[in-house]
Amino acid sequence: MTEHQHHHKAQDMLAVMSRNGWRITDQRRTLANIFSTTEQYLSPKDVYDQLTGKYPSVSFDTVYRNLRMLSEMGVLEQFYFMEGGLKFKSSCLDHHHHHLICTNCEKTLTFDFCPMQDTLKLPGNYKIVSHRFEIYGICEDCQKETAVQS
């Protein structure tokens, strides 16, 4: 991603925050920058470590609460990894796709097929607002490594 794309992504995240009534503080701007410059999943601790460098007084609770709220706003996607626990990454706000996630190295591939386009026989009479679809597996690189080791 170019510098321009990072900036654009951070701006999009901040725009969603202010639409949700959040004051855009320096701290939140930094938070948006952290997520717009990485494609990796970050644990609350990763984010906390990056923020405390700049804002020594920030508490872990505050960071965690912000991450949870940002994922409820749809700005961040959260995934639960068996080993690493709950982690967050910025959502793709410009088009709809789903994820293939390696449980070993956490590398994520996006794919455009959406099972919701087929008629699903869902229980209850829900008006569906949004959905997420994740497939967990072992990526090609990790499979090769395992093959070499055994």
The secondary structure element, H or E, covering residue 108 is strand 108-111
* CATH superfamily membership of 98-149: Ferric-uptake regulator, C-terminal dimerisarion domain (3.30.1490.190)
Does the 3-90 domain belong in CATH 1.10.10.10?
A: yes
Residue 1 clears pLDDT 60, i.e. is over it: no
How far apart (Å, rounded) are the C-alpha atoms in residues 117 and 23?
Answer: 37
Start and end residues for every CATH 1.10.10.10 domain found in the chain:
3-90
pLDDT in tens, 6-44: 778 889 899 999 999 999 999 999 999 999 888 788 999
92 is in an annotated binding site: no
pLDDT for residue 121? 78
Start and end residues for every CATH 3.30.1490.190 domain found in the chain:
98-149
95 is in an annotated binding site: no
pLDDT for residue 96? 66
Dihedral sign of CA atoms 53, 16, 60, 35 in order: negative
| Bigger pLDDT: 66 vs 77 | 66
pLDDT in tens, 75-128: 888 888 877 788 888 877 666 677 788 888 878 777 777 777 667 778 888 877
How far apart (Å, rounded) are the C-alpha atoms in residues 100 and 88?
Answer: 15
Q: What is the mean pLDDT of residues 59-64?
A: 94
- The backbone torsions φ and ψ at residue 29, rounded to the nearest 5 degrees and listed phi first, read -65, -45
pTM of full prediction above 0.85? no
Q: What is the mean pLDDT of residues 34-61?
A: 92
